[in-house]
Amino acid sequence: MILSHIIELVAICAKKGIKNVILSPGSRCAPLTLAFARHPDIHTRTISDERSAAFIALGMAQQLEEPVALVCTSGSAALNYFPAVAEAFFQQIPLLLITADRPNEWIDQYDGQTIFQEGVYGKHVKGSFQFPNSIGTEDDSWLAARVSNEAINLSKQYPCGPVHLNIPLKEPFYPTEGESIHFPGKPRVFNQLSSKVLLSDESFAKLKSRLGAVKRMLVIVGQQRPNPEIQNLLNSLSDTHQVVFVSDCIGNMQSDKSITFHDHWLGIPQLNSNLAPDLIISFGKSIISKALKLFLRSTKASHWHIQEDGNAKDTFQRLTRILPTHPMVFFKWLSGNLQPQNLEFYQAWHSLELKVKNKLPMVLNQVDFGEYSALHAALQTSPKQAKIHVANSMSVRYLNFLGAREQEVCCNRGTSGIDGSSSTAVGCTFTTKELVTLVTGDMAFFYDRNAFWHNYAMPNLRIILLNNHAGGIFRIIKGPSEQPELEEFFETKQKLSAQHLATEFGFFYTKVVNSEELDASLVDFYQESLHPKILEIETESELNTSILKAIKDQISNSLME
């Protein structure tokens, strides 16, 4: 028999807009699984590996901008959600984590599949809620419905994030033969109304007074989804030489008006003399560029951070004001209240940007075949109406080195781990018919191979695999690159190829080792297909390091001429 409070939970989820649920097999969670699977307004998928399941849900929720629910059985299954839970928390992505549990009396009694699940995610969720141990009274039923509403509301409240709902369940878990599930037409629902945070006239007056002394304003765009309205405002401010705005690829606000090649010169002291701002304005989440962070920390600039909930984010150690408002509101106000700025400051940034923009393609066409130049060539053929999911370590850094992208760029930069990159991209493919390109290194790709272990079609998935058979990033980091243990304990060399994986999962597969093979493979790589495609670009880790150094040196020399 499926208990009434489980049926009502599922009805509440549907009523409050949760339309997608990722299930993982298990017996303790069977009542939840069956109720979700049988609800007519909910689309369920089953993913056997809970770690992958959680990242797939994250990839979906990121695109849908609404909560996706996860359901797992008791015990270590819930712990396997944890990497994606942490990523969702720091990326502010809404997830509803529903974990089936043993009844309280059986916890820590040598009973199977039992751990301490209540509050297991700690500070990495916005909230944790516990269902009653059993439903014996109307008050118990009311409590279950109440916490269901609270959990879903909290996941959607700014800033969005993961919320945990732990549900003790007793046997029997399965309905009897012929038993049907009847969902209530009007489940107990209460919604939370959204509101905009607006700065007072007095606050704007104080900001305007402070702006009178500002002549060198730098706007930093942190990780976020594309927002054409804010993009247009920033483009307009740049057009009139009012502000310099910098966007990494994950800021998704790159254009010919923005600074995107900053990683090529900010680490060169000789070029930084006229680049220091007197005011930094930032919004969004994290940035990739370490050089940018170190440069801004070294300045004497004030820093205003726009954050709707008013929480302090002092990335550059220069924070002087937190602006609890929406970026759109602030930049609309700024466009009408900013005094003329220092033109030399604007020209200093954009002169360097233009030099790199003109020089880099020429350099990439001249160097030996390697993953840097190969990725440049591969992405030139990508459709503009597409999405790029990029793994951490060198993959996202290469993408950032290559400058402005028209496609939306997604990356797990909440915790910046390699785990779950492929699964997040798979989740994205479940939400769109547009092509989704996963750019990944071999360590991230093979670490998350269970991303593809399911029965759902992904004809719009394209995978560019940079396989140098090692963790190549450790060759460019000063510490590990100087150690005799580099290859065994840091790079962790491996001999794997994606060919066997492609055969197992029915993917189209091509391996290339030179420019000619790459050019030939790209002719139909982005053409329509019934199955995903893998383009494996095989290179040598040592050669990639020397190519990267050679490109940096050529760009640096050209900038100082």
Q: What is the pLDDT of residue 1?
A: 61
Minimal CA–CA distance to 278: which of 311, 309, 301?
301
Residues 6+ positions from 147 with CB-CB distance below 8 Å: 129, 130, 131, 165
Domains of the chain: 4-168 (3.40.50.970), 205-352 (3.40.50.1220), 367-559 (3.40.50.970)
- Strands across the sheet with 508-512, in order? 408-410, 386-390, 435-441, 461-467, 533-538, 508-512
Minimal CA–CA distance to 369: which of 229, 491, 158, 513?
513
Low-confidence ranges of the chain (pLDDT < 70): 1, 472, 476-477, 480, 487-489, 491
Q: What is the pLDDT of residue 458?
A: 98
Contact 135, 5 (CB under 8 A): yes
Distance between CA atoms of residues 447 and 52, nearest Å:
11
* pLDDT tens profile 127-182: 999 999 988 899 999 999 999 999 999 999 999 999 999 999 998 888 888 788 88
β-partners of residue 128 are 164
Minimal CA–CA distance to 406: which of 382, 430, 442?
382
Distance between CA atoms of residues 58 and 40, nearest Å:
23
- Strands across the sheet with 68-72, in order? 43-46, 20-23, 68-72, 95-101, 162-168, 127-130
Establish how many alpha carbons lie within 13 A of residue 554's alpha carbon, considering only the half-sphere containing its beta carbon: 17
Instruction: Give the DSSP H or E segment for 382.
Output: none
Q: What is the pLDDT of residue 472?
A: 67
Distance between CA atoms of residues 491 and 411, nearest Å:
22
Structure tokens at 301: 């600039």
* pLDDT tens profile 305-360: 999 988 889 999 999 999 999 999 999 999 999 989 999 999 999 999 999 999 99
Minimal CA–CA distance to 344: which of 238, 255, 216, 256?
216
Distance between CA atoms of residues 438 and 411, nearest Å:
10
Contact 509, 537 (CB under 8 A): no
Q: What is the pLDDT of residue 173?
A: 83
Distance between CA atoms of residues 143 and 152, nearest Å:
14
Q: DSSP label at 333?
A: H
pTM > 0.85: yes
- Strands across the sheet with 319-323, in order? 244-247, 217-221, 279-283, 302-306, 319-323
Distance between CA atoms of residues 505 and 453, nearest Å:
8
* SS3 (DSSP) at 167: strand
Strand ranges (E), 241-355? 244-247, 279-283, 302-306, 319-323
